[in-house]
Structure 1
Amino acid sequence: MIRNLIYILFFIPLFLTAQKEKYNIREGNKAYDKGSFSEAETQYREALNKNNTSPQAAFNLGNALYKQGKYDEANTFYQQHKEAKLNDTEKAKSYHNLGNTFFKKKQFKESIDAYKQSLRLNPDDEDTRYNLALSQKMLQQQQNNNQENKENKENKEQNKNDKKEDNKKENNDNNQNENKEQNKNKKEQQPQSNKMNKQDAQRLLEAANNEEKNVQEKVNREKVKVSTGKIEKDW
């Protein structure tokens, strides 16, 4: 009798705690159905405070957080849910929702892995199969966009370098033209060379010949003049 009484006293608090946990889960479900996800989150957290190993409270809390866009936090509770002692169908739900959180964060490789794991546990889930195909398509598109962005960046950098080279070449051409112009102006400012053309040379030559002829004639005249005077012998 006393032993039975001890058992009753021991299990009564556990029973009451379990009842309070279920109460919070039910209240959370009501708020969730109304779209009051913040209130639902509060109720599910309260349920986990009373039983931190409750897979139902963890899963539902993950859903409430997911609906509020708190994907990282939701991920944490889906992870907790899948680690509990569950059948394959229940674990498949955890992996499915994990895939959804990764998808929302555009982590498509991770979402693909999660959906594949969900299908291994529950191959007949068409929603998961659809999400898997969509994730694979989005991953391909993401990779194509990344490649395109990379090529655009490289082309932009190449165009920038080409423009620098063009500007450098243009500056060099301008400098060369400027130097040519300066040399031209400098040459024009310098005195003309003393180099004479053929006609000038011919005139100078004729003038020299005439001068020589005049000198010769003068010399000849002087000789004649001398010869008309007294002849003096050499000693």
Structure 2
Amino acid sequence: MTLKYKYILFLLIHLCTVTSVMAQKAERDYIRKGNRLFNDSTFVDAEVNYRKALEVNPKSTVSMYNLGNTLSQQKKVKEAIEQYTEASKIEKDKMKLAHIYHNTGVLFQATKDYKQAVEAYKMSLRNNSKDNETRYNLALAQKLLKDQQQKQNKDKNKKDKDEKNQKDKDKNKDDQNKQNKKDSKDKQEPPKSQKQDNKMSKENAEQLLNSVMQDEKSVQDKVKKQQIMQGGRLEKDW
């Protein structure tokens, strides 16, 4: 390698080193400024500086953790948990991981997601088993989770019972409506046997009428015959 190329390589390495140092300095400056603003409760401005630090170093777990803290102070729970989660994927230091999981558990507990809170506190204790505050929070979250599950089961049983009672009421109502319709129909229409009786009565009336008409014709024929006979006799007697 010639002296010229060695010089160029030296300049490149030096430039990279200088750039890296400047980036680290910028990151630290943003974090420090963000911390001051956070301590002054100027959370929006603190958030801006932590995000600038992440622009310089996207893998800065310190910036992620601090950003999560300032977001939680602004009630941006979902975004804060996302920052803690990303930090937990990168961070290797156990004490820092314990803090990350502890804060995650606090946010889950605040939103009554006790199941997730319990898991977060357990992860925190795996990284720092001596943290009594986390141990207390875990016990509390476990009790709240148990109470929540019992209430959910009670509410579910009540809902199922109410739905069953409503179905029974609806069924009884349908049965009553059907019975009312049947009773109404029975009142409006005579029974089948009565219809048959009516039909038979009509046939009997027709037969009786035919019989009467036949008898009347027979009587008329007899009268007419007698008249002829009598007429004959009168004519003969004359």
| Of 69, 80, 87, the match for 1:63 | 69
2:137 is the counterpart of 1:138: no
Instruction: Identify the residue that residue 109 of structure 1 maps to in structure 2.
Output: 115
Post-superposition Cα deviations, 1:123-148, rounded to whole Å, max 9, x if no partner, equal 11122112111211221122112212
* 2:42 partner letter: S
Distance in 2 between the 1:56 and 1:110 partners?
A: 23
What TM-score results when the alignment is normalised by the length of structure 1? 0.68
Distance in 2 between the 1:77 and 1:71 partners?
A: 10
Q: Contact conserved, 1:25 with 1:57, CA < 8 A, in 2?
A: yes
Distance in 1 between the 2:165 and 2:46 partners?
A: 55
Return 5+ residue gaps in structure 1 as ranges. 192-235
Distance in 2 between the 1:138 and 1:17 partners?
A: 46
* 2:51 partner letter: R
Instruction: Provide the identity percentage.
Output: 34
| Of 88, 91, 103, the match for 2:97 | 91
Output aligned runs, 1:1-235, within 5 Å. Answer: 6=11, 9-175=15-181, 177-178=183-184, 182=188
The alpha-carbon distance between structure 1 residues 150 and 85, as it changes in their structure 2 partners (threshold 3 A), is: closer
Return 5+ residue gaps in structure 2 as ranges. 1-6, 199-238
Question: May I ask how many residue pairs the two structures share in their alignment?
Answer: 188
Q: CA deviation at 1:16?
A: 2.2
What TM-score results when the alignment is normalised by the length of structure 2? 0.67
The alpha-carbon distance between structure 1 residues 44 and 180, as it changes in their structure 2 partners (threshold 3 A), is: same
Distance in 2 between the 1:73 and 1:175 partners?
A: 62
Distance in 2 between the 1:161 and 1:84 partners?
A: 55
Determine helix, strand or coil for the equivalent of 1:83. Answer: helix
The alpha-carbon distance between structure 1 residues 80 and 175, as it changes in their structure 2 partners (threshold 3 A), is: closer
Distance in 2 between the 1:114 and 1:69 partners?
A: 19
Bigger helix share: 2
Determine helix, strand or coil for the equivalent of 2:90. Answer: coil
